[in-house]
Structure 1
């Protein structure tokens, strides 16, 4: 019985520890013993040992104890969530609340016009629009309460998220398209109230014992200069480095001196500070990454990246820069190397800015084989990324073994998103390269990606991690601490967060030990 094994282990360990500390083991005189021999002679933390033994019991055997392991990972201290998109993290139910608060409606068919964002242009069924014609557009309140809309309500939930995608037959787009299309449906209300949205995310994080969130709130502003943009847009990955550097420098000089550019960067940074008002406190920390879409013209990407880097100098709340959007998009693939050179160039001007880059979110068949050979390598060795998001195509990269060794040596962490990778890429269980990263001692963290779209949370990601890959309890704890150690925080902030994690783990392990003792001696 599990409880007896726990009890026996603890009793034996306790007796051995007391025996050593008492100096009775082989009649050793502790006063005369070498200092190094005393290191192992302190009494172990019995709560830690009880929790370790219980966890081992949960993951042992061919089929882990999923229900108990779910409870365990729900209570587990989580540290931080480092790969996190704000708009994709909010659940559909929140966006439906905001539809009515914004006095918008949801299009019932493809006859709607008057998008909340696009003006009079026609918009798609299920998209949020301005209420321009009765009977064509429905409020969220009606959608939820009127029986005649119950089927449409279900459709909205499945269009705005991945809900029920795999558990019943239905007409469906490819999973990656389904995933990325969701942002277009609720996009019109995603900026209804950043402060309210962040507060909701904080409450959810605190409820599942998460103490730090590093989220991507909104894209950086791009300032257009047509005559300069024409030159930059003519570049490609094969352009001469001298030509590329000259075009970058000319555009940077314009952006750095342009009053509209300066004002846009200042307002962008200020909007993040306003959104974070009241969020940070003694139990929770919030920081932001800024980002640009990788599927825009080169000049727009460069201008946005400049603003992203510049914004990190305006507020301590913005701690990193990223690129987002489908990595397999035509422009993203065509300009990938050019984007990495943009990042390298801008890091020379903003050397303190840290990069966490989506790289290698690709699988064979999504792009031709040659498209899988270099993205992680370029993110590391051209752009200078300090963390890599997804990094799934490592198994196809040229010189993969050298890359794995480099990531270990250079202490570059991988952001593992198990639910997202399974849905978008079809990669899970032993096909996931997490096992490869573990084998080669590459640091990694567990994160959510877009919890609202995926309808998951960080606790569930840890459930998948523990049930599928069965890490030891020590490795599990180390991964939690990684989520603080590899956060883009100052050393003092990391030290404080680690101390808080220490306290939370002590309380968690005490709770587990107490519960086990209660079950043994009710």
Structure 2
């Protein structure tokens, strides 16, 4: 040990001297540091087995630009929802793990003795290790593949989680956004474009019947859509909800944006609702995007393989097309093609992505998983490349929900045909995941380089729905952050090399 210690100290001193020298030559150092970072990254992905722990460290440290496919409620971890259960005076039912919100039932539970209560506080759930473990299996995907409890298929498990925590997700948005902001800063993410809250809707049975009538042509459909607009404006419930939504965006987002972090919002439409609900929700979402600069786009979400989602898919795209003519400046990021062979009949896989870009006018595609099955896949990808329509790639949820990963994932096709794509999280709270891990999965599964992953970080700003000025500001911030990151990696590599040289052989 006495022989090793001086050797180690000398090696570290040499490394420190090299780092100090590098600090004096700023322009040269930046290039040298980038090259050193590139070599270090190559060492992590070379060989037969990627170095997962080191890749995790690398991507945790790396500036990751933005997360463009991000669901607000799906990003919150279950533990925070349990705190909100207590904050609102609710309780969680034993066995079902549903949140009780009814005032009368809550009063009955509070009046019962502790031993006979069937509904308990969020803190009580967290203090019971067994209950907490089971709750996390229902409110998220934790332990799905390594426990033997009876469970639904992966896609149902994933989509069912929202029904558990929704009662508290939408009533604590300011607190939730602050949590997501701090988590993003800790993870070196500077921008989030979140699918925030369900856009206001209303029901019109006559409209539903009319637009679902067989043989309705596009002119007749547009006439029906046009006729509903003044009806919506006279609907006090819908207009009141719309005003409340505007206030919620402003109040919840207060104090979120600063020099370190920026967040923007997308109202969403639920694709498995009735046509009148979907269209009225679209109208409110488009109006929100036009009137509030923090609302930068409109989205449609919900399991794509359900009967109503499939039946009404083309109808929904026509609705988007109609509204895009009235609000051409509003941007669309549409969940499309989140399907796998066998989930629906094969003809259901043939045109969802193409319809989203060619009919609805989508500027980005969420998931885009069934592209290989589409009837005109090559033409669709050519159009996406030429128009700069990026795909939001969500490796963890694509694997869990659809069972698609590795070479079966269409990111391989998008890369081959030059379609832009970005790495994103989808529902990090449900998956108990983060953006660094998504980058780690990408680098572990697909041959890549430091130049490509760095470009993906910048592309997450480039393909955002931010204004040109905001993109320029965040890109300039990325320049500064990458210079520091690359300097840190270069210094760390020198230190690691010195430590390796000092190890006994």
What is the TM-score of this pair, normalised by structure 1? 0.86
Q: Give 1:264 deviation, angstroms.
A: 3.0
1:142 aligns with 2:124: yes
How far did residue 170 of structure 1 move?
2.4
Describe the shift of the 1:105–1:343 C-alpha distance in structure 2 as closer, same or farther (beyond 3 A). Answer: same
Partner of 1:323: 300
- Write the deviation string for residues 71-95 of structure 1: whole angstroms up to 9, x where unpaired: 0011011000000001100001111
Q: Tell me the distance in 2 between the aligned counterparts of 1:171 and 1:42.
A: 60
Q: Distance in 2 between matches of 1:120 and 1:251?
A: 39
The superposition leaves residues 172-230 of structure 1 with CA deviations (integer Å, 9 ceiling, x where unpaired) of 10100000111111111112310100000001000010000000111011134454454
Matches within 5 A, 1:4-153: 45-109=31-95, 115-116=100-101, 131=109, 134-145=116-127, 149-153=128-132
Question: Which sits farther off after the overlay, 312-321 or 420-429?
Answer: 312-321
Separation in 1, partners of 2:236, 2:92? 39
User: Deviation string for 1:380-417 (max 9, x for gaps)?
Assistant: 11000000000000000001111111111111000000
1:39-438 aligned at under 5 Å gives the runs: 45-109=31-95, 115-116=100-101, 131=109, 134-145=116-127, 149-232=128-211, 234-235=212-213, 238-256=215-233, 260-438=237-415
2:269 and 2:278 in contact (8 A); partners too: yes
Flag the structure with higher helix content: 2
The change in CA–CA distance for 1:120 and 1:324 in structure 2 (over 3 A counts) is: farther
Q: Which has the higher contact order (CA 8 A, sep 6+)?
A: 2
CA distance in 1, matches of 2:180, 2:238: 31
Corresponding residue number in structure 1 for 2:11: none
Q: Which moved more, 1:257-266 or 1:168-177?
A: 257-266
Q: Which whole-Å CA distance do the structure 1 matches of 2:122 and 2:240 have between them?
A: 37
Report if the CA contact (8 A) 1:115-1:130 is conserved.
no
Q: Is the 8 A contact 1:484 1:498 kept in 2?
A: yes
2:494 matches 1:517: yes
Matched residue, 1:26: none
List runs of 5+ in structure 2 lacking aligned partners: 1-13, 19-24, 500-505
Structure 1 pair 97–114 and aligned structure 2 pair: CA distance change class (3 A): closer
Deviation at 1:291, TM superposition (A): 0.7
Counterpart Cα distance in 2 of 1:189 and 1:87:
9
Name the stretch that deviates more: 269-278 or 496-505.
269-278
Q: Given the alignment of the two structures, is residue 462 of structure 1 paired with residue 461 of structure 2, yes or no? A: no
CA contact (8 A) 2:74 2:429 kept: yes
Q: Distance in 1 between matches of 2:158 and 2:236?
A: 38
For 1:186 and 1:259, the matched residues in 2 are separated by 29
CA gap 1:66/1:113 in 2 versus in 1, 3 angstroms: closer
- Three-state SS of the structure 2 residue aligned to 1:318 is coil
> In 2, distance between residues paired with 1:363 and 1:228?
32
Query: Could you report, residue by residue, the CA deviation over 1:321-367 in whole angstroms, capped at 9, with x for unpaired residues?
Result: 01111000110000000000000001111110000000000000111
- Closer/same/farther in 2, CA of residues 171 and 258 from structure 1, 3 Å limit: closer
SS of alignment partner, residue 291 of structure 1: strand
Please tell me the root mean square deviation across aligned C-alpha atoms, in Å: 2.5
In structure 2, distance between residues paired with 1:103 and 1:314: 35
> Matches of 1:273 and 1:339 in 2, distance apart?
29
Offset of residue 42 of structure 1: 8.5
Q: Unmatched 5+ residue regions in structure 1?
A: 1-6, 12-17, 19-40, 122-127
Note closer, same or farther for the CA distance 1:469–1:86 as it changes in structure 2 (3 Å cut). same
1:472 to 449, 465, 483: 449
TM-aligned CA deviation for residue 289 of structure 1 = 0.6
Distance of 1:120 and 1:422 partners within structure 2: 42
Hey, what's the Cα distance between the residues in 1 that align with 2:101 and 2:335?
29
Does the aligned pair in 1 maintain the 2:98–2:164 contact within 8 Å?
no
**In structure 2, C-alpha distance between the alignment counterparts of 1:370 and 1:227, rounded to whole Å:** 30
**Aligned equivalents of 2:370 and 2:65: distance in 1?**
27
* Distance in 2 separating the partners of 1:180 and 1:64: 32
Q: What is the total number of aligned residue pairs between the two structures?
A: 474
Tell me if 1:453 matches 2:430. yes
In structure 2, the CA distance between the partners of 1:114 and 1:327, relative to structure 1 (3 Å rule), is closer
Q: Which moved more, 1:475-484 or 1:250-259?
A: 250-259
